[in-house]
């Protein structure tokens, strides 16, 4: 399995297919497997690069100097440099959309098309920030996610009304319980604090190219509700799409809809390059 050393740590990534490169950034508390339906669909026409976020999947601990989305974007840029990728599309969900949009702002000549999914560059609402901060303190102290916390956290990632015994939620709960104390203390907690203590940088998004940027959001997303996606799209001046019957992990809850939208978007904006 391929790894790359960045800032003294091992970042795990996968490369699938061939054609114009598409970089996928997954959600906090998930890993690259979250994108499996999209990997299967996109690799029919594109090369797909899927890293594991620090402390997630098979990647090592988050480098100590990682302080903001610019650092995560710079680390993704290092991966692209190592793979000799001069131009690509970026699709990021949740924190993947946060650092993905930062990468597009910093390297507009490299990022030819951008999809921001179930994400936000505004500040976290005070009530949820307080709740998450208390959770991080508890996790750091215990070195685990206690079962009652998992029962609260897991449903947030799925559409309202999703059955609690559904396969996606049950498997996600198992994954949350499997994080080691080192993963939690070295990566999950500090990364969570980075994400949820973010500054309001929505205004920066106006510098993105509206013609090559798409915002998507599950219409039933709880932590990143559609109003945030619509506000980002209005700031950018780009199109937005709400994914029906889906919450925060919209790529897994309605993969057929998401795949159709992503393929249509990529074919329109980088398809000629992919098949040149």
Give the CATH number for residue 40. Answer: 3.40.50.1820
Q: What is the span of the domain harbouring residue 26?
A: 3-122+199-274
Residue 260 lies in a domain: yes
Residue 63 lies in a domain: yes
CB neighbours (10 Å) of residue 82?
14
Residue 268: CB partners within 8 Å, gap ≥ 6?
none
Cα 142 from Cα 139, distance rounded (Å): 5
d(CA 255, CA 93): 13
What is the average pLDDT across 59-88? 97
Task: Read off the pLDDT of each residue in 135-145 and give the average, rounded to a whole number.
Answer: 97
Please, which pLDDT band fits residue 137 given cuts at 50, 70 and 90? very high
The confidence score (pLDDT) of residue 276 equals: 44
Cα–Cα distances (Å) from 180 to 9, 62, 145, 177, 268, in that order, read 17, 14, 9, 8, 43
Label residue 271 by pLDDT band (50, 70, 90).
confident
Number of domains in the chain: 1
Look at residue 163 and tell me if it is in a domain.
Answer: no
- Residue 182, pLDDT > 50, answer yes
Q: Is residue 191 part of a domain?
A: no
Name the residue with tokens 């994080």: 179
| Residue 204 in domain | yes
Residue 241 counted as domain residue: yes
């Amino acid at each position: 399995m391929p790894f790359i050393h960045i800032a003294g740590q091992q970042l795990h990534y996968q490369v699938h297919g061939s054609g114009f490169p598409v970089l996928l950034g997954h959600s906090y508390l998930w890993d690259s497997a979250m994108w499996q339906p999209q990997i299967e669909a996109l690799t029919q026409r594109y090369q797909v690069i899927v890293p594991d976020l620090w402390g997630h999947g098979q990647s090592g601990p988050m480098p100590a100097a990682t302080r903001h989305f610019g650092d995560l974007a710079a680390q993704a840029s290092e991966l692209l440099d190592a793979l000799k990728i001069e131009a690509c599309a970026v699709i990021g969900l949740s924190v993947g959309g946060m650092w993905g949009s930062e990468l597009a702002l910093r390297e507009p000549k490299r990022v030819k098309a951008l999809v921001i999914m179930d994400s936000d560059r505004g500040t976290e609402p005070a009530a949820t920030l307080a709740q998450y901060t208390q959770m991080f303190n508890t996790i750091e102290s215990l070195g685990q996610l206690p079962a009652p916390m998992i029962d609260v956290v897991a449903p947030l990632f799925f559409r309202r009304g999703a059955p609690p015994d559904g396969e996606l939620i049950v498997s996600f709960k198992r994954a949350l319980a499997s994080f080691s104390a080192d993963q939690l203390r070295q990566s999950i907690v500090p990364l969570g604090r980075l994400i949820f203590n973010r500054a309001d940088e929505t205004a920066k998004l106006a510098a993105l190219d509206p013609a090559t940027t798409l915002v998507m959001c599950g219409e039933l997303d709880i932590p990143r509700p559609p109003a945030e996606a619509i506000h980002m799209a209005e700031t950018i001046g780009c199109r937005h799409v709400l994914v029906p019957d889906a919450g925060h992990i919209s790529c897994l809850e309605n993969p057929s809809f998401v795949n159709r939208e992503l393929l249509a978007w990529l074919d329109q904006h980088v398809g000629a390059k992919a098949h040149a």
